Amino acid sequence: MYSYRRCPYAMRARLSLYLARIEFFIYEISLKNKPEHMLAVSPKGTVPVLILGDNQIIDESLDIMIWAFSHQGIMDKYLPQDKKQISLSLINSNDTSFKKNLDSYKYAYDDNKRENAFKKCLDYVSELDLLLEKNEYLLDDCPLMVDYAIFPFIRQFINVDVLKFEDEGFKKINQWFNRILSSNEFEHIMMKSKIS
């Protein structure tokens, strides 16, 4: 799998492969010098790109997650039927509006635009925080696909300005975030190793 250690899309792909106990070789790319082979098999030029044994290419992070869980017969564990619709809806919101606002918050040069993007990000975080009133994780008391798919982006959001986020007082989100951050699964996929 072509990967970039700090890319949130690559993180969730690595998490799913690790959770599914699928052994894979990681080729850590340089964003400034992307491998020719990666661009040949996936011209969009973004990670992750998973190349299977039969040379099938999966180059979307959610598709990798779904493939990994399906391949190992554990889809019901991580994406239960009764939680499938809300899981995919939350992930879609994360990958569209939240990601767009997150990028604006991270990269805007204008202070007003930056602050406006921060507040829009908080709207989504507030939605997640409400869900955590009921469970330790977003939809259950054990982590599901939705937690692993969203977590890397919340991590990126918090890390832009940790103190600014902490001032907002999202106790439940902080507990959820730290629970996954300190998990064996996350620590494993963030190790600087070529082999998983």
Beta-strand relationship, 2-3 and 27-28:
parallel
pLDDT higher than threshold 60 for residue 194: no
Higher pLDDT, 151 or 55: 151
**Which pLDDT value is given to residue 103?**
97
Domains of the chain listed by start with CATH number: 2-75+185-189 (3.40.30.10), 80-183 (1.20.1050.10)
Q: How far apart are CA 194 and CA 113, in angstroms?
A: 39
Share of residues in the chain with pLDDT > 90 (%): 94
pLDDT digits (tens, 9 = 90+) for 121-175: 999 999 999 999 999 999 999 999 999 999 999 999 999 999 999 999 999 999 9
193 confidence band (pLDDT: 50, 70, 90): low
56 confidence band (pLDDT: 50, 70, 90): very high
Closest CA to 118 of 188, 58, 167: 167
Q: How far apart are CA 168 and CA 126, in angstroms?
A: 10
Whole-number average pLDDT of the chain? 95
Question: Model-level pTM?
Answer: 0.95
195 confidence band (pLDDT: 50, 70, 90): very low
34 confidence band (pLDDT: 50, 70, 90): very high
Share of residues in the chain with pLDDT > 70 (%): 98
Beta-strand relationship, 50-51 and 57-58:
antiparallel
Q: How far apart are CA 102 and CA 154, in angstroms?
A: 9
